[in-house]
Amino acid sequence: MNKEIFIAVCDRLKTEVPQLRWIDAEEGQLNTGERPAVAFPCCLIDISYPSCETHMGGRQKINAQIQLRVAFQAGGSTNAAAPKLVREHALSCMDTLDKIHEALQWWNGGNLFNPMRRLRGAPEKRADGLKVYNVIYETEFMD
């Protein structure tokens, strides 16, 4: 996979989303029975190439997907009867997700790749007290 894209995404998130305390490659850090070896909130990044199209001269147009696993520790009650400050704190993860989207949507890494666009986002179902969102962005580049 492309090291330049990985570094560009990490650097962009570090600069634009200071709420993130840990930005790293996805290596299964959250899939452990013990406390994960990350600081929360964290963003774990994986890049895949779901399709590649070969052009003249052997160059390829790469369709790349950047998967972000954004994890938070449980933040408290979100129900409508919770005190406003408790609810705001518990829902602050959504503010972080919004900042990530602002940083990546239509960003092109200084013309390193075509502008990114979000494909989908969904929470994971977990029983360990972590709230984890999977968000996938897509882009293309020539290799």
- Report pLDDT digits (tens) over 105-136: 999 999 999 999 999 999 998 888 899 999 99
Give the C-alpha separation, 91 to 81, whole Å. Answer: 14
Query: Could you tell me which residues come within 8 angstroms of residue 126 by beta carbon, excluding any fewer than 6 positions away?
Result: 132
pLDDT at position 34, please? 79
Please tell me the pTM assigned to this model: 0.90
pLDDT at position 31, please? 87
Instruction: Give the residue ranges of the chain where pLDDT is below 50.
Output: none
pLDDT at position 118, please? 98
Q: How many domains does the chain have?
A: 1
Domain containing residue 117: 3-142
pLDDT at position 1, please? 64
Q: What CATH number is given to the structural domain containing 106?
A: 3.30.2000.10
